[in-house]
Structures are given as structure tokens and as C-alpha cells.
Structure 1
């Protein structure tokens, strides 16, 4: 019994010793002379990234001489000033890439989140049509990795996609850019659920051709009538500003020819819904859309300007 008691006491003493020793190690002060600067280094070039000396020296066991001065000069800001401080150069084995080669440590084109933080702000594109992209929803909600899109689908450079002539909805349909995932199998097709990415126009569209003073309001059709974008685009209307206005107005003095042309025009566009079945017929309630010269002036504010000028004596 005494032997058992001694063993129990020894075990408790040993556990306590290890506990306090462990706490002592945990609270050991960070030695900057031995392990490098404690503060995380933040780079904005080639893209925003962070570097932690503690992870590389104290945790992994690298010496200062492993990186300085052969790879990095021991002076703040020097790396970013070098023109060859790029992801491409790293992939070729320079700077971070001398270790992050896939053998010594993970390659520079993998495990991106270890150094890089994705933007919490939405990316807003104006081309091919105004749309927004959220890294948060794709990374945190759907669990995608940075390399899921970069750099095969998108070059990791701000503005690079919009600068390409082939950054179009037609290209998406062929599996490029967003279409590499938004193909109807991996994610919803790029020709559907438009409102997930695209902004609904808030301003009324005013047509001057092929018929003058015609107004279209997206909010009435989307919010009140609960139509989706694909109800009209692309089978009825191409999603490109000015496409309908590009239609040539018939030049004829024959009223029969003019009427025939306008009827066919209505049937081709608005008449696909405004057929007296789905919505009021295009031959009725004309002034809902055709507001005339006076209505157009009121809508654009020209009428108010003239009234104001008249009252002020101009």
C-alpha cells in the first residue's frame, strides 16, 4: 500500500513538474535577435501577402542565414522594390520559391491562404455587363481554394479579366472564366440566375429608335411582375445596351407598310409577353410605355427646367 502511495505521489509530482515546465516554455519571451522581427511583415506586391518570422524560425527551425542575405536583403521594403519580386519569379525558384518548390515546402501556386488573404470587398466588373463577384461566398461558403480559379481561369491580377477582349458571356458559355464552373453541373449555368451576380438597372431605359419616346422600367417587370432576367434575355433582348436602338426604322410613306413594320416589331420584342394573355396586349394601353414628347421631357427633367426658367424671367 505504501509502495502504491509512493507511486501515486511520484506520478502527481511528475505531472505537476511537466505542467509548470510546459507553462514556462509557453510563456517564454520571443527573442527577436534569435528569431527575427516579431511583427508580421505585410507585402502589397506582387499581391497582398504576409510573412511571419516566428513560423519559419522558432516553429520550423530555420536560421536567419537561410534567407538572408542570399534571398532577401535584411532591410525592410527592399523586396517589394525589386522588379523580379513576382509570383512568376517565385515559381522559377527565386525569393520565397527557393524553398516553396513543392519539395522543401509547399509550392508557391498551392496553399495560397497560408500567405495571402482574399479580399472581403466585392469585385465589381462593368464588362461584359455590370456584375459583382464575392470571394467570401466562393471560399468560405462553398469551400473553394484559391487555385480552383487562379491562374487557369483567372490571372491573379486586378483588372486583368476585364481587360481581355474575350471576357464575354459567350466565352462563359464555352467554359471560360466563370463558365469553367458555372456550366450547369458544377454550379448553376452562366445563362441562369443572373441576379446572383448582375445588378438590375435602376434607371429607366429610354428608347428613341426605332420608335421615339418609349420607356422601359426593369423594377416593374422584375419586382412587381416577378420576372427573372432570363425571361427576356437573351431570346428576346440581347443583354447589351443600345441593341434594340440599332434596329433601322422603316423609311416609307405608305401607312400600311409602316403599321405592318411596327406590328412585327412589337411581336418580336415586347409582344412576346404583351399578347393579352400573359400581359396586356401591345395594341392596348399604349401610353404606359409610349409617353410622347411631353412625357419624355418630364421624365428627363427638361420640362421642369423650362418651367423654372420661365418663372425666373429667363
Structure 2
């Protein structure tokens, strides 16, 4: 019975963004012209089936080889390893296409091949064909695996429907933070207090937790390439630049909860849509 209730709850959460948009358009507020609405709809990330959010589909090289596209599910790996393992220790770029991964590289034990060696995870180097585990004609089986996996995890209304920060805090997941035995720095005491970022509207100030991000990432994941480390030195930091994949949007439009989950950051924002 509990499982059925959770599925119903997830269905309702999945529908929430569309309902909010309908309410906004039908309310008595200032009307948007069609060009403005088109821009909004284009920038809001898809919030359809939770199982799809965060999956990276790689088609180009697979198509050239006459194979089905590679589908990389972040959720599978995120439950086992923190983001820093792949994006720092294994040198995967934070943006699609930055890494230049090839089959020749991972069969030599680089990138995916560090873990997919037949011992830690299914192998890619041997003659035992496991191609279908990554090259997928469709994702029905993967989607069902996600549904089974997400049962019992903290709910969220956006992204893939999982509150990963809450899952990490309550021990629902216990991802490994290093596979190379690297020494990780302790979290700086002076950064434990959430950082308050002012906005044009005082009631929508942003609360940023270094601690929650440090639990998954490393300082070098954001500084200085995404954010200049000096106070007030990051220029052009606006909601628009974030939505188009810069700054926070580098992660929060693709894998982490998308930026239409406004109250996750703007905690003082009232319940009315867009205010």
C-alpha cells in the first residue's frame, strides 16, 4: 500500500510544474506576449518522466559505428559515488563533449574503464559482450530500474523526483567519495553558515549551502572556472545566464534539480507562481 501511495505522490509531483504554468497564464497578473512565453518554455528543462531527467544520451560515435546510442544514467552512478569521483578523479568534463571519451580509451582502463573492469562493475574489455548495457535501443528496462530504485528515497517535485541532498543526509544513500585513496580536505568551519545572496526583490534572496555542495563536489569543481573565487568578482550572474547553462546552471539544468524549482534556493519566496 505504501508503494502505491508513493507512486501516486510522484505522479502528482510530476504534474505540478505544468499546473503551475497553467495557473500563471490564467491568473489576473500581467500577460506575457507569445515571444516571451516561447522563451520561457524553451528554457524550462523537461520535467516529464522522472526516470529521464539527468540521463545523457551520446549518439554521434555510436551512430558512426552502427550501434544504438549510449545512455548514461546519472542516478545509477550517483547512488554509489559522489560527483567528485567522476568529475575530479576520473577527469570527466562537467560539460557534454569536453572529455573526448572513446572506446579505445576506456578499454585501456581510463574513464568508464576504471570501474567497468569486470570486477567493480560489468566489464567492457572482454569478449563477453555487454554492449547492450550501455548501447540501448530503448530505455524501458532502465526506466523500470529507476522506479524500483527510487522507492523509499526522499521525494522532490522537480528533476528526477529524488531529493538527493536529503538522501545523503539521512543515510538513504552512502556514496563513495574517492576511489583513488586521495586525501580529501575537511570542510572549512567558516563556510558552514549558508551564504546569503541578495536579489532585486528582498523576499527572494538566495540561500546557498557550501556544505551541501562540498558533500558531493570539490572546491575546484566550481572555482575558479565556473565561479571566480573572489567576493563579488563573478560578473553577469543573473537568472538568465543561469538558465542558459552558466554558473549554477552548469549542473542545475541537466543533472541536479532544475532551476524551475525556485523555492529550493529562494527560500523566502511566497507560494504564488513567479513571485
Give the alignment's TM-score, normalised by structure 2. Answer: 0.29
Q: TM-score, normalised by structure 1?
A: 0.26
Whichever of the two has the greater Rg, that structure is: 1
Higher relative contact order, structure no. (Cα contacts within 8 Å, ≥ 6 residues apart): 2
